[in-house]
């Protein structure tokens, strides 16, 4: 007869082995991530199993996934459909084709845009557009604080709602929890705005809502009257960013677009809104799309996330790298790439493209900052020039290829943005806008130090051990 202690031990062993088998059998996971999880489960049996249950798979219930995909399919039909690609040059067509496959709609033409001068002015411009709105205001932010800039937008929403504009305001339940629990949130509701707390998780119990608890809506979307949209990295907050003030100022980028790309951004907003609230926004999306500008440029807005095929955001980044002929400049605060992404960066540098990456010198995430630096040797050996910005927390996510392609959005180059978070990006082909973004990147470069290539590649053995261990950890998530 087996005693109770032995039975309990056998149950623990059975669970441990079952989780290991599950980690090996899971489809769609890259081999590096699979090996990392296997190593963790063997090295830390109990803690590894707990971590796997919490973070091992970007699980979403079939019901949640099916509902989201159904809403996406219903809304895609309202994206503007030009008869042809227009003036998109053949050299960049493949990048746009990749974004089209990810979004489910064609590239839009006839768009105009301008980069906002700084974070405070960006909020002032958004407030001006909200104050000029006639029909709808759609806002979605990952982090929305009740500081100076945050309150400017709150008050603008209240003014718009009171004069009869339909305001739909969404904020991530975790990233913006302080505002959602504050009187400012109630103030917008009392003014007549429709509010939604995105991806709520009761008491942290994800199984109750059918998804992993740490899946977040990281998007930053503002669409005014369906014809103006803002895209970029900036949350609704002051550059001082009081929740993490010791890393301030937070340095972001926000671009104001007009034209059919605004309808695409509106559909991305509407899909998340309808999934959370159940409201049918098809009548609004079926309105006449924004007018084309005769001297406008091609652009496409794309939303990605855990409902997308695995690797979609990586495919989008890689497609832009593949188009580069002369140079690429990247800014990203969080860098923990998957194998295809790091491979594309290295391949671009090896074929003679001048690749520059600007990271923040001080990162608000110590572990991700360390993981980013662990990749310096691989990048430096390929010929990538690495810079660290010292003027604050460089939070902007930008990718400029040659003189024509600019990718602006909310997505970082880490596993969370690539596979877990809901993100939004806009790819454009415009000499003028690309020049504006490149000028901003040059401004950041002027306040950055370049990492010495020899120092990055010739590391002492303890540092090599730590760095290689960190790249394994990066693959876990």
Joined together, the tokens standing for residue 71 give 């809403």
Are the CB atoms for 393 and 364 separated by under 8 Å?
Answer: yes
Distance of CA 44 to the CA centre of its chain: 31
Q: Which residues contact 4 (CB under 8 A, 6 or more apart)?
A: none
Joined together, the tokens standing for residue 47 give 């803690």
Q: Please tell me whether residue 102 adopts helix, strand or coil conformation.
A: helix
Query: Which residue in 434, 122, 175, 140 sits closest to 265, CA to CA?
Result: 140
DSSP state of 336: -
Per DSSP bridges, beta strands 327-331 and 398-401 are antiparallel
Query: Which residue in 125, 179, 183 sits closest to 150, CA to CA?
Result: 179
Residue 124 backbone dihedrals phi, psi, to 5 degrees:
-60, -40
Give strand pairing partners of 258: 112, 228
Report the 10 Å Cβ neighbour count for 90: 7
Residue 28, judged by CB atoms within 10 A of its CB (0-12, 13-18, 19+), counts as exposed
DSSP E strands in 361-439: the ranges are: 385-389, 393-394, 398-401, 405-409, 423-429
Distance of CA 199 to the CA centre of its chain: 16
H or E segment and range at residue 192 = none
Residues designated as active site: 218, 220, 225, 395, 397, 402
Spatial separation of the C-alpha atoms in residues 281 and 74, rounded to whole Å: 10
Report the 10 Å Cβ neighbour count for 187: 15
In total, the chain counts a number of residues equal to 477
Query: Which residue in 26, 19, 30 sits closest to 471, CA to CA?
Result: 30
Spatial separation of the C-alpha atoms in residues 120 and 117, rounded to whole Å: 8
Are the CB atoms for 368 and 431 separated by under 8 Å?
Answer: no
Per DSSP bridges, beta strands 254-258 and 250-251 are unpaired
Q: Which residues contact 454 (CB under 8 A, 6 or more apart)?
A: none
Are the CB atoms for 134 and 287 separated by under 8 Å?
Answer: no
Query: Which residue in 400, 408, 412 sits closest to 325, CA to CA?
Result: 400
Spatial separation of the C-alpha atoms in residues 224 and 226, rounded to whole Å: 5
């Amino acid at each position: 007869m087996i005693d109770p202690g032995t039975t309990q031990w056998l149950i623990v062993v059975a669970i441990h082995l079952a989780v290991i088998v599950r980690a090996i059998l899971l489809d769609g996971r890259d081999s590096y991530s699979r090996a990392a999880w296997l190593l963790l489960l063997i090295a830390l049996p109990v803690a590894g199993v707990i971590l796997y249950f919490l973070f091992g798979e970007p699980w979403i219930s079939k019901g949640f996934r099916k509902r989201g995909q159904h809403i996406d399919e219903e809304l895609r039909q309202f994206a503007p459909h030009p008869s042809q690609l227009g003036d998109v040059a053949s050299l960049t067509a493949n990048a746009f084709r990749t974004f089209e496959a990810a979004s489910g709609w064609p590239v839009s033409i006839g768009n105009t845009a301008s980069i906002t001068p700084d974070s405070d002015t960006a909020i002032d411009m958004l407030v001006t557009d909200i104050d000029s709105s006639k029909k709808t205001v759609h806002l979605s932010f990952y982090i929305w604080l009740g500081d100076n800039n945050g309150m400017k937008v709150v008050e603008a929403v209240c003014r718009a709602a009171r004069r009869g504009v339909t305001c739909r305001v969404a904020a991530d339940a975790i990233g913006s929890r302080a505002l959602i629990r504050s009187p400012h949130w109630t103030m917008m509701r009392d003014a007549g705005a429709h509010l939604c707390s995105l991806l709520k998780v009761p008491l942290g119990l994800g199984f109750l809502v059918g998804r992993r608890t740490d899946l977040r809506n990281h998007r930053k979307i503002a669409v005014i009257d369906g014809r103006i949209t803002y895209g970029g990295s900036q949350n609704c907050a002051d550059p001082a960013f009081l929740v993490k003030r010791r890393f301030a100022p937070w340095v972001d980028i926000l671009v104001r677009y007009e034209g059919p790309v605004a309808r695409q951004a509106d559909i991305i907003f509407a899909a998340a809104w309808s999934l959370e609230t159940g409201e049918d926004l098809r009548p609004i999306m079926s309105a006449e799309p924004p007018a084309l500008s005769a001297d406008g440029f091609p652009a496409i807005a794309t939303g990605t996330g855990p409902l997308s095929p695995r690797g979609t955001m990586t495919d989008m980044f890689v497609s832009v790298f593949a188009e580069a002929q002369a140079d690429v400049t990247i800014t990203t605060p969080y860098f923990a790439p998957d194998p295809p992404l790091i491979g594309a960066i290295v391949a671009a540098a090896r074929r003679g493209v001048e690749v520059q990456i600007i990271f923040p010198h001080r990162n608000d995430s110590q572990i991700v900052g360390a993981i980013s630096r662990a990749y310096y040797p691989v990048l430096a050996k390929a010929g990538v020039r690495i810079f660290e910005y010292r003027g604050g927390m460089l939070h902007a996510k930008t990718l400029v290829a040659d003189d024509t392609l600019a990718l602006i959005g909310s997505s970082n180059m880490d596993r969370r943005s690539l596979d877990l978070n809901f993100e939004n990006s806009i790819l454009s082909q415009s000499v003028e806008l690309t020049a504006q973004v490149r000028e901003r990147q040059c401004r950041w470069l002027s306040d950055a130090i370049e990492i010495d290539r020899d120092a990055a590649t010739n590391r002492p053995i303890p540092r090599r051990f730590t760095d290689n261990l960190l790249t394994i950890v990066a693959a876990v998530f």
